[in-house]
């Protein structure tokens, strides 16, 4: 029994998630600076996003439209009138020393998203979807962890400052018990699919265009909800689940020892799977919100909102059901694909020529294992659906065994080339030449006379010993079926 499952046996978890999505607009939220990812530091800035005196913001219509579309897709109510607010706090990556956000008058409210977990549908309530600007990025150097503790200096890149950022805040999610970590991961996975289907963001967690703050609390049954902690900036589906598990286990230990949980932000550590204390959690009054004086209120035209509603694409869950039928999968198999963030990868692999079963096998087994070992998402691996389909063709054509194919796949992920190139460079193609196999079989028979005699006496199961010997002598490159046929042909 895992520590989080043991915690759920004594306490009731309540989770809540705050997901930040960087919009894929051409320019920033309140100025005309470009938003290209990976540009040289501090080259995509201007007086507005640097907060220089005398500069004035102008709201990005495309960002407002994208936020409304996200809200509609999440079944939210769209405000007929709302406004921006200043959120005041002081940090080096905040050039204005305040963030233009929304407070008590968000653009979208009171929605929901149904997710599939363990064969059941869980409805996650959406408290609000609001629009704000992103902060800059601080890089702490000279230390071992990349955090400020132990660093010798800190560098600030303001390219990200001012990029349109949508925050999607769930209502508290109680009643999930030991499945709370899985529910959290499934929600973020399916939310990512939904946002990607709208075409408003690439939602690449490894690049920071989608980030998650995970709120977790525990309480004893029939008692009020406990004090929550907020684990900040979790940047992968796997880590979302692990962060909830870690906090459930940690808080259970604190409560079991008679202590109290402190309301605070916490940092999740990918290497250990643990969380550590960050800072005490601020309340709304600490931010001294007030209406943004340099921007007019927003009043979306109802007819425009209806036009946006009518133009929404097919919901991902509907497409998932269609793919499930087409691929002949069970509900649990399809859930595993969705929760792994592998729907589009498998769909593209099938389109490239692989069968659904083969595509699912490679992405959910071998490639998921490699992604977990590397601590990254499947989409971050250096392998394309086309390459996976090519690998399967080599297996189907008898040029690779499954074992050899896994070795080739590791080479592809390591950047050594396509499956054909890796197979050729490493000399991994299956030995299919009958003369070469015959010689290896004869050598195995000569080296194992007692086993050979048992086979001659009718005990054909002993052929496995000789097949194994041939596979060892050929470095695993012989076709086991062909070898067995040759052994039996010689001895029976």
For 31-83, the pLDDT digits (tens) are 999 999 889 999 999 999 999 999 999 999 999 999 999 999 999 999 999 99
Mean pLDDT of 18-29: 97
Indicate the range of 20-29, 412-421, 438-447 predicted with least confidence. 438-447
At residue 173, the pLDDT reads: 97
DSSP for 129-180 reads: EEEEE---EEEEESSSSSSSTT-SEEEEE-SSTT-EEEEEEEPPB-S-GGGH
Select from 158, 199, 170 the least CA-distant residue to 75: 170
CA 46 from chain center: how many Å? 33
Number of C-beta neighbours around residue 9 at 10 A: 11
Mean pLDDT of 188-214: 93
At residue 438, the pLDDT reads: 67
Which DSSP category does 99 fall into? E
At residue 470, the pLDDT reads: 66
CATH of domain 434-491: 1.10.10
At residue 435, the pLDDT reads: 64
Question: Model confidence over 344-376: pLDDT tens digits?
Answer: 999 999 999 999 999 999 999 999 999 888 878
Distance CA 190, CA 185 (A): 9
Q: Does the pLDDT of residue 229 top 70, yes or no?
A: yes
Q: Express as a percent the part of the chain with pLDDT over 70.
A: 94
More confident residue, 286 or 25: 25
Question: Model confidence over 139-190: pLDDT tens digits?
Answer: 888 877 667 777 889 999 999 999 999 999 999 999 999 999 999 999 999 9
Q: Is 121 exposed, middle or buried (0-12, 13-18, 19+ CB in 10 A)?
A: exposed
Domain ranges of the chain: 3-309, 315-426, 434-491
Number of C-beta neighbours around residue 254 at 10 A: 14
Q: Where is 386: in which H helix or E strand?
A: helix 385-396
Query: Helix or strand or coil: residue 266?
Result: strand
At residue 335, the pLDDT reads: 87
């Amino acid at each position: 029994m895992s520590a989080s499952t043991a915690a759920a046996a004594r306490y009731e978890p309540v989770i809540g998630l705050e997901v930040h999505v960087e919009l894929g607009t051409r320019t920033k939220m309140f100025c005309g600076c470009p938003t290209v990812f990976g540009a040289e530091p501090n080259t995509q800035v201007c007086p507005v996003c640097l907060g220089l005196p005398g500069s004035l913001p102008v709201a990005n219509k495309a960002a407002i439209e994208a936020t409304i579309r996200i809200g509609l897709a999440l079944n939210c109510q769209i405000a007929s009138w709302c406004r921006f607010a200043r959120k005041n706090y002081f940090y080096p990556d905040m050039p204005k020393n305040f963030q233009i956000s929304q407070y008590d008058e968000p653009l979208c409210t009171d929605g929901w998203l149904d997710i599939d977990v363990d064969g059941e549908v869980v409805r996650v309530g959406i408290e609000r979807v609001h629009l704000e600007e992103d902060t800059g990025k601080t890089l702490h150097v000279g230390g071992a962890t990349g955090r400020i503790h132990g660093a010798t200096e800190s560098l600030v890149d303001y390219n990200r400052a001012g990029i349109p950022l949508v925050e999607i805040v769930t209502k508290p999610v109680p009643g999930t018990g030991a499945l709370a970590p899985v529910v959290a991961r499934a929600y973020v996975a399916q939310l990512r699919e939904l946002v990607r289907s709208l075409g408003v963001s690439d939602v690449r967690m490894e690049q920071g265009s989608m980030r998650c703050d995970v709120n977790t609390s525990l309480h004893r049954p029939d008692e009020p909800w406990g004090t929550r902690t907020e684990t900040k900036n979790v940047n992968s589906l796997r880590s979302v689940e692990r962060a909830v598990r870690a906090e459930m286990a940690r808080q259970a230990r604190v409560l079991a020892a008679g202590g109290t949980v402190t309301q605070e932000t916490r940092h999740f550590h990918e290497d250990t799977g643990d969380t550590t204390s960050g800072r005490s959690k601020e309340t709304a009054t600490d931010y001294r919100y007030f209406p943004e004086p340099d921007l007019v209120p927003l009043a979306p035209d109802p007819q425009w909102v209806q036009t946006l509603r009518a133009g929404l694409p097919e919901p991902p869950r509907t497409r998932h059901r269609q793919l499930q039928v087409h691929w002949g999968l069970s509900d649990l198999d399809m859930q595993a694909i969705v929760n792994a963030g592998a729907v589009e990868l498998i769909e593209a692999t099938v389109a490239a020529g692989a069968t659904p079963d083969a595509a699912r096998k490679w992405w959910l087994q071998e490639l998921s294992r490699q992604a977990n070992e590397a601590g990254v998402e499947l989409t971050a691996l250096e392998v394309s659906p086309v390459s996976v389909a090519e690998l399967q063709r080599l297996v189907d054509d008898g040029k690779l065994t499954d074992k050899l194919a896994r070795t080739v796949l590791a080479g592809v992920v390591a950047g050594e080339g396509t499956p054909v190139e890796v197979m050729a460079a490493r000399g991994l193609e299956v030995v299919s030449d009958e003369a070469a196999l015959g010689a290896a079989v004869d050598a195995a028979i000569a080296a194992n006379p007692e086993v050979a005699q048992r086979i001659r006496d009718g005990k054909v199961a002993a052929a496995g010993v000789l097949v194994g010997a041939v596979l060892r002598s050929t470095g695993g490159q012989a076709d086991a079926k062909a070898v067995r046929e040759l052994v039996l042909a010689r001895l029976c």
